[in-house]
Amino acid sequence: MSDVGLSQAEIDALLGGAVDSPPAAAAPGGTAFSGAQTEALAAFERESLGNLAGVINAMTGFEYNLDGVEAASVSSDELAALVGDDLIYRIPVTVGEECTHLLVLEPGFAKMVAAALTGGDPGGEDNSLSDLEISAVSEVVSTVNGTYMTNVASALKVATNAGAASLVDLAAAAGELSAAAGVMIGLKLSQNGDSPTVVRHILPADLVQRILTVIMPAPKPVATAAASPPPTAKAAGPAPGLGAPPASSGSIAPSDMSYAPAAFSQLGPAPMPDIEMRNLDLLLDVPLTITVELGKTTVPIRQILEYGQGSLIALDKLAGEPIDLLVNGKYFARGEVVVIDENFGVRLTSILSASERLSQLT
């Protein structure tokens, strides 16, 4: 298999330098994200796209491993120098709000993926793709994005949806980035005998800000109670029984008593006891039945008795409408039908929110 990709020095240059100190990414309005925010975003992408190599390997038969994830800022002006002749796929998504993100593949790597899916020849210096090969690579990109959206929905606790991936030119890709910039996530893949390749995930600044709002929420101000003043010394008076008035048995407090608001420690979620964690672990291996519902309809018994071989049954789903996925008979997600090798599969495009899932139990 021919070598594909860039040298290690070129990869380091494209990703912005050292791994230990990633460059700050630009936020909307030209304000730079802090190093902690950039590192948090890289960690989030490592979790959300951690199975990138596994998805590609399952579809192509390759044996790639994910060796590293780095984050760097990128503006529309810098995009041409960083991307060059790479293939840029634009993917419209909904993460609470509608937005887009980009997935960038090196031409040689894309040619190998297309050849593995279509049975073509990955060799030679010509890395141009035919319409069939472009469609094959788009299928891989859509599958990767479907897995990413599922992980994002779970991590951010928001409803997500994804449109079809489309190959765009550099000008269209630059239009997705504001003058402020976005963030480029570099995911380095390698397998034995081949030079490493970098799959780049480019997030526009508004989507980055939306993710950071969830994974790094602003700390809530803690109200501090005013310190209570020292108690005021009472003037000495006559001892009881020596002319002093008897003490009152009522609830009226002396007029010279000082007051201060009570201070209470903030309440937080109680840690789950070890016994409960162990009980939860017992459920992780419980098998659940996943059912894909293409559609349904209601007909009278008379019509069912008239059915025979070749009869047509109209369902309530329109052509192209997402299909429903049920877990143990409860609606869980929606997706679209794909073909994996010789089997049918489902690419998830949206996950039902927690409230939607709970509403099925009432």
What does the pLDDT read at residue 117? 87
- Its pTM stands at 0.55
What does the pLDDT read at residue 225? 52
CA distance 3 to 112: 10
> Range of 333's domain?
283-359
Domain count for the chain, please give it.
2
3-state SS of 121-188 is: CCCCCCCCCCHHHHHHHHHHHHHHHHHHHHHHHHHHCCCEEECCCEEECHHHHHHCCCCCCEEEEEEE
Token pair for 99:
């937005």
Identify the CATH number of the domain in which residue 337 sits.
Answer: 2.30.330.10
Which of these three, 159, 193, 215, is where a domain ends? 215
Q: Tell me, what DSSP letter sits at residue 60?
A: H
Indicate the average pLDDT of the chain.
Answer: 76
Which of these three, 194, 215, 236, is where a domain ends? 215
Domain assignment present for residue 48? The answer is yes
pLDDT: is 238 or 208 the higher one? 208
pLDDT band at 199 (very low <50, low <70, confident <90, very high): very high
Q: Tell me, what DSSP letter sits at residue 5?
A: S
Domain assignment present for residue 268? The answer is no
206-227 confidence digits (pLDDT tens): 888 888 888 887 666 665 555 5
What does the pLDDT read at residue 30? 46
State whether 329 and 204 are in the same domain.
Answer: no
CA distance 146 to 162: 7
Domain assignment present for residue 125? The answer is yes
State whether 209 and 323 are in the same domain.
Answer: no
State whether 333 and 196 are in the same domain.
Answer: no
- Beta-bridge partner residues of 333: 325, 351
Identify the CATH number of the domain in which residue 143 sits.
Answer: 3.40.1550.10
Domain assignment present for residue 273? The answer is no
What does the pLDDT read at residue 291? 92
CA distance 109 to 137: 10
Mean pLDDT score, 114-139? 84
Domain assignment present for residue 181? The answer is yes
State whether 200 and 300 are in the same domain.
Answer: no
State whether 56 and 158 are in the same domain.
Answer: yes
131-162 confidence digits (pLDDT tens): 888 888 988 898 888 888 888 888 888 888 88
State whether 211 and 292 are in the same domain.
Answer: no
State whether 207 and 291 are in the same domain.
Answer: no
Mean pLDDT score, 352-358? 81
Domain assignment present for residue 209? The answer is yes
State whether 294 and 156 are in the same domain.
Answer: no
Which of these three, 215, 238, 272, is where a domain ends? 215
Domain assignment present for residue 75? The answer is yes
Domain assignment present for residue 236? The answer is no
Mean pLDDT score, 50-74? 87
pLDDT at 338 over 70: yes
pLDDT at 163 over 90: no
pLDDT at 25 over 50: no
